[in-house]
Amino acid sequence: MGFEPLTELLGLPGYIVKAILKKEKEIVLTIERVGFPICPICGQLFMKAPKDRRLQKVEDLSIFGKRCFLQIDKYRIECSCGYCGAEKIEWLEKYERVTVRYQKWIYAFCKRMTGKDISIIFGISKHLVYRLDKESIQKEIDAQKSIEPKRISIDEISRKKGHRYATIISAPNERKILDVVKGRKKADLTPFFKGKGSEWCKGIELASMDAWRAFRTVVTTYCKNAEVCYDHFHLSQHFSKAIDKLRINEALKAEKTDKEVYKGSRWLLLKNPENLKEEQKTDLEKLLKLNENISIAYILRDKFREIFKAETVDDKLHRLTDWMSDARSVKIPEITGFLKKIERWEPYIRNSLKHGYSNAFAEGLNNKVRVIQRMAYGYKDFEYLRLKIIQQFNFRDVRSVFD
Ligand SMILES: [Zn+2]
């Protein structure tokens, strides 16, 4: 009986369909090699079929709404080149239970869906999905051209609320993640810079980062030409924390009758005023009228934001100096605490003001990472989280699996 049309449709080079078995939910095609087994190392043909062979069932892309499996006799060869193992099959990787094109499909889905959903839809185990995804990401990483950025950004992300950190090293101008490492200590980041080599490190001219000493130490150790910049967006986060602390402390001291005004005021203070709704604006005004310290802090925060909005570098630097002298005249411990930091960090803030560039990439980083973390299985496996972050930022998304 002829299976030529089916062989043609199957389209696996070097193989023909010999038999079909149709079950309720799956179709099993028995296929056979035409020609001779090939050594994967030296490419030698085996004219005399090796005796040792193994029947294997591998999954291929579904056909006609049923899962499709291929039954294949895989030869084990002993080659004169010294190789000993399975023959070469172009469309099936060694030890793999699914075809190369099946893996590509799963990978495409993995860019868009959670592993759990894919495992349900395809009826395969979560572990298989994760493994296929991880392997494919690694392949895509290996195929990438290496980036030699002039500017890098170092940002920490928390893997769990408040503890267990990871650090993302990115190239914001190229909009690429360079790597994700576990932890945020100097020792955690050192392997990255060592691995990149001294030439690569010499090429770094700017390193923006959060004001975290270990980041600065590692950059000044390995990237001798890099100017360290503390960015607006990180500084604002520190300022927000200070204001939040002040709000909590003031609320504790407040008269019973005034407590209501403090309630739910967190976002009123932290949000940019232009993003507040009318009724929130009224609530904010009430709070600012009631509490002088919060009101002063709020004005200072506004002024702080204005530093970075100035048109020229000179103007920005002047505004920083002005802001610091304003803050020095204020006797609010939370503000003074923040000012002390600014004083310590001043040279790095000035560097940042000198090189006015967009921070949009680094700013968006945290939110996007949070989405990735939520989408995924808790990512107990750090290596998988790392790969997934790289995948979601660096690689082209899929539009359709048929592309
Ligand atoms: Zn060989």
Residue 278 has pLDDT above 60, yes or no: yes
Q: Does the 151-231+359-394 domain belong in CATH 3.30.420.10?
A: yes
The Cα 163–Cα 160 span in angstroms is 6
DSSP-assigned beta bridge partners for residue 70? 29, 58
Alpha helices (H) along 22-161 = 100-110, 115-122, 126-143
CA 111 vs. chain centroid, Å, equals 12
**pLDDT confidence of 265, banded at 50, 70, 90?**
confident
Question: For residue 403, what pLDDT is reported?
Answer: 76
Question: For residue 267, what pLDDT is reported?
Answer: 84
Report every protein residue that has its C-beta within 5 angstroms of ion ligand 1. Answer: 39, 41-42, 44, 79, 81, 83
Read off the tokens for 151: 């500017």
On the CB side of 380, how many CA atoms lie within 13 Å of its CA? 1
Strand 151-160 with 206-209, pairing: parallel
Q: How far is the CA of 85 from the centre of ligand 1 (A)?
A: 10
On the CB side of 230, how many CA atoms lie within 13 Å of its CA? 21
Q: How far is the CA of 50 from the centre of ligand 1 (A)?
A: 13
The Cα 147–Cα 190 span in angstroms is 19
Q: How far is the CA of 53 from the centre of ligand 1 (A)?
A: 17
Q: How far is the CA of 10 from the centre of ligand 1 (A)?
A: 28
Question: For residue 376, what pLDDT is reported?
Answer: 67
Beta strands in 221-372 (DSSP E): 227-230
pTM of the model: 0.84
The Cα 361–Cα 233 span in angstroms is 11
Write the pLDDT tens digit of every residue in 367-388.
Answer: 888 888 877 655 578 899 999 9
Within a 10 A sphere around the Cβ of 72, how many other Cβ atoms? 20
Handedness of CA 114, 115, 120, 121 (dihedral sign): positive
Percent of the chain's residues with pLDDT above 70: 97
Q: How far is the CA of 43 from the centre of ligand 1 (A)?
A: 6
Helix (H, G, I), strand (E, B) or coil at 280: helix
Q: How far is the CA of 84 from the centre of ligand 1 (A)?
A: 8
Q: How far is the CA of 36 from the centre of ligand 1 (A)?
A: 13
For tokens 């029947």, name the residue: 55
Residues belonging to the chain: 403
Choose the most confident range, by mean pLDDT, from 163-167, 218-222, 227-231.
218-222
The Cα 155–Cα 167 span in angstroms is 6
Residue 163 has pLDDT above 70, yes or no: no
Question: What is the enclosing helix (H) or strand (E) of 63?
Answer: strand 53-63
Write the pLDDT tens digit of every residue in 46-100.
Answer: 887 777 888 999 999 999 999 999 999 998 888 899 998 889 999 999 889 999 9
Radius of gyration for the chain, computed over Cα atoms and rounded to the nearest angstrom = 30
Write the pLDDT tens digit of every residue in 300-358.
Answer: 999 999 998 899 999 999 999 999 999 999 999 999 999 999 999 999 999 999 987 77
Write the pLDDT tens digit of every residue in 167-222.
Answer: 999 999 999 999 999 999 999 999 999 999 999 999 999 999 988 889 999 999 99
Q: How far is the CA of 73 from the centre of ligand 1 (A)?
A: 19
Question: For residue 217, what pLDDT is reported?
Answer: 96
- Do residues 3 and 18 lie in contact, with contact meaning Cβ atoms separated by under 8 Å? yes
Domain ranges of the chain: 4-97, 151-231+359-394, 232-354
Within a 10 A sphere around the Cβ of 401, how many other Cβ atoms? 14
Q: How far is the CA of 388 from the centre of ligand 1 (A)?
A: 36
The DSSP line for 295-335 is: HHHHHHHHHHHHHHH-SSHHHHHHHHHHHHHHHHT---HHH
